[in-house]
Amino acid sequence: MNSTTYSLGINLYKLLIKAAAPFNDKASMMIEGRKDWQPNLKSKIPNDSRKKIWFHCASLGEFEQARPVIERINRDETFIIVTFFSPSGYEVRKNYDKADLITYLPFDTKSNAKSFIDIINPDLVLFTKYEFWHFFLSELNNRNIPTALFSAIFRPNQSFFKKSGEFFRNMLRCFSLIYVQNEDSRLLLSNIGINNVEIAGDTRFDRVIDTCNSVSEIDLIKKFKGNFKLLMVGSSWPEDIKALSLFFNHLPPDVKVVIAPHEISEKSITELTTQLPSKSIRFTKTDANSYIPDEERFLIIDNFGMLASAYQYGDIAFVGGAFKDGLHNILEAATFGMPVLFGDKNYKKFNEAILLIDENAAFPVGNSNETNEILQKLFADDQNRKSISSKSYKFVRENKGATETILKYIQKVLN
């Protein structure tokens, strides 16, 4: 790989996204959201003495890692810019009121990188966890603009660590400082000669603790649960529901289920309801003041932004994604103290999943039989379940503090 082949790949990707846009909502949003980005951006950048800090987040999960840092920065003295690559991040958080400007990151071409950085002229740049854009990082490096990566985690199979990975290693060399989550990541970087690295942990621990400490009641879920035990199914895909199907068909009489699917289109919700063994109610179509009979055992959360707070009512969580491309955020559940289950396929690149398994507070499952067996035992044994819940709660709090490390770096650079 070199700059020429990388440029060809980016341009081909743009063409494919444009071709898909008439038929695919996500592709359409990626194109529409970047239209006329230069004049739009110029009109929103202030001409004042505030220091400009640019945070880049690939999508919604990375934004949640940036969020505890953003929310502790003094807004009177700074202008905060947040960019997203993916519509699943931008469309959900485009009205976030703790940043001054939220926009899409233009596609990574040499001219786009130069123009974008010319316009925003940042004093400090912070990339969250991953997503490495060659031309943007090269331009920042050439201008000696302090650029840090935080909450990063690395694995041996990534391109940086292959013999043919010099092009990718050069991207890492553009960072002034890299904050990693663990010692394994630090050692991997050290082995390729990158030593401007510090272990800081994962800012998501601070974020989920903040959520737990400031959570508001959700009247409908509280009423739905009543005196029942509750299984929270978060960010589920059809594959996750399939793994839960046997348990759903043998639901203990004292258990109810709340499901927050990853996709909430009308088609997806309809398909989900057909997979359930009995009638379900939908959050957006149910009044919190209405009567909810005990026979109603399934509640579907069919809106965005509620899941992290909804976990407060859970006794056990099943978090989706691991049967597909990757596990979703299990810390949102763990912070409230509960056992966490997830698929056994794509979870090993998530450090918190490995650590929670080591604590015997998380359980990967491969099929509906395994899922049913573990859930039946956990719901039947209150003492064991509460013991595991305490481990989960304690684990999250033992790993807090990454945010303070990043804030000290920001203060050092800006002062």
Dig out the tokens for 279 from the structure. 């009638």
Give the pLDDT band (50/70/90) at residue 99.
very high
Average pLDDT (229-255) is 97
Q: Name the H helices within 215-298.
A: 219-225, 238-249, 266-275
Residues 154 and 215 in one domain: no
Average pLDDT (303-324) is 95
Residues 23 and 115 in one domain: yes
Q: Which of 201, 218, 253 is the last residue of a domain?
A: 201
Provide the residue count of the chain: 415
Residues 138 and 221 in one domain: no
113: buried, middle or exposed (CB in 10 Å: 19+, 13-18, 0-12)? buried
Asked if residue 31 belongs to a domain, the reply is yes
Degrees, nearest 5: CA angle 173-176-179 = 95
pLDDT in tens, 46-82: 999 999 999 999 988 899 999 999 999 998 999 999 9
Tell me the pTM: 0.89
- Per-residue pLDDT at 208: 95
- Determine contact, residues 389/333, Cβ cutoff 8 Å: no
Give the pLDDT band (50/70/90) at residue 279.
confident
Asked if residue 411 belongs to a domain, the reply is no
- Per-residue pLDDT at 288: 84
Average pLDDT (158-175) is 96
- Per-residue pLDDT at 1: 86
Asked if residue 102 belongs to a domain, the reply is yes
Residues 164 and 236 in one domain: no
Asked if residue 114 belongs to a domain, the reply is yes
In angstroms, the CA 350 to CA 154 distance is: 10
Residues 188 and 313 in one domain: no
Q: For position 387, which CATH number holds?
A: 3.40.50.2000
As for how many domains the chain has, the answer is: 2
Give the pLDDT band (50/70/90) at residue 130.
confident
Give catalytic status of residue 183 as yes or no: no
Residues 191 and 274 in one domain: no
Residues 78 and 108 in one domain: yes
Residues 110 and 73 in one domain: yes
Residues 158 and 18 in one domain: yes
Q: Which domain holds residue 54?
A: 3-201
* Active-site residue, from 62, 64, 139, 332: 62
Residues 363 and 233 in one domain: yes
Q: For position 112, which CATH number holds?
A: 3.40.50.11720
CA distances from residue 235 to 87, 142, 310 in whole angstroms, order as listed: 17, 41, 12
